Amino acid sequence: MTSSYKLTRHTLITLRSHSSDYHVQNPGIFLSRPRVTVLRASRQTRPLLFHTSASRSALQNIFETPERPSLSIVKLNERGFHLSDRLVIPGGVIISDHRAFLWDVDPPSPATPQGWGGWSKERFAIFESVSPRPEILLFGTGQTVVPPPAAIKEYVSSLGVQMDVMDSRNAASTYNLLIEEGRRIAVALCPLEPINPRSGDSR
């Protein structure tokens, strides 16, 4: 899917230019077998890399529209995030309005006060452009919960969006549950480990 959002921040890269690199059949992504957290699977079966309303199971999300099926997170591990449209995303990801964006961030370090070095409100500037804006933003900070600086939370709040902070596994699971309820929600997930989203290698 190609996003219609206009992004000007270098930390956000739409999946359009990278979908072939992160195809689920890319053998480079599966060289090892890291620990995997399996989340609640999607209730739909879709062909690779595009959405369809065909081949539905008996149970359907009544809030979903054929034009924009729900996009959920199937599982995550140290290599990245596996989405319900069978896309595998190395590195961080933002999902808003059932559209996914590659998010070039590393998880903040809980060990030092400088763990948020390099972070600013511009990391979340996409939410100035999306319409409609989400009611809630679930922010997953990696393997552990690391409270973000007050300036970041205040910026997101100024956009009329409530930010809830948790680890990335819980953020992904909570997002899947709320999206099934038809809530207007977004999720911003840091990877579990620092990873180069362009190559899929650790950094």
Token pair, residue 160, equals 């009329």
> How many CB atoms are located within 10 Å of the residue 99 CB?
18
Residue 62 binned pLDDT confidence (cut-offs 50, 70, 90): very low
Three-state DSSP class for 87? strand
- Whether the model clears a pTM of 0.75, i.e. scores above it, the answer is no
Radius of gyration of the chain (CA): 16
Cis peptide before 66 (omega within 30 of 0): no
Q: What is the pLDDT of residues 101-140, one digit of tens each?
A: 999 999 998 766 567 888 999 999 999 999 889 999 999 9
Q: What is the pLDDT of residues 137-185, one digit of tens each?
A: 999 999 999 999 999 999 999 999 999 999 999 999 999 999 988 889 9
Whole-number Å distance between alpha carbons of 195 and 203: 5
How many residues in total does the chain contain?
A: 203
Closest among 201, 197, 193 to 17, alpha carbons compared: 197
Evaluate whether 196 touches 29 at the Cβ level (below 8 Å): no
Q: What is the pLDDT of residues 29-40, one digit of tens each?
A: 343 444 545 555
Helix (H) or strand (E) holding 100: strand 99-103
Q: What is the pLDDT of residues 80-104, one digit of tens each?
A: 899 999 999 999 999 999 899 999 9
Residue 46 binned pLDDT confidence (cut-offs 50, 70, 90): very low
What is the structure's pLDDT at 109? 84
Look at the domain 12-110+119-189 and name its fold.
Hypothetical Protein Mth938; Chain: A, (3.40.1230)
Closest among 115, 121, 91, 111 to 9, alpha carbons compared: 121
Q: Tell me whether residue 43 is exposed, middle or buried, using C-beta atoms within 10 angstroms of its C-beta: 0 to 12, 13 to 18, 19 or more.
A: middle
Q: Which is more confident, 191 or 28?
A: 191
Closest among 67, 13, 69 to 43, alpha carbons compared: 69
Least confident segment among 48-52, 60-64, 66-70: 48-52
Whole-number Å distance between alpha carbons of 14 and 4: 10
- What are the domain boundaries of the chain? 12-110+119-189
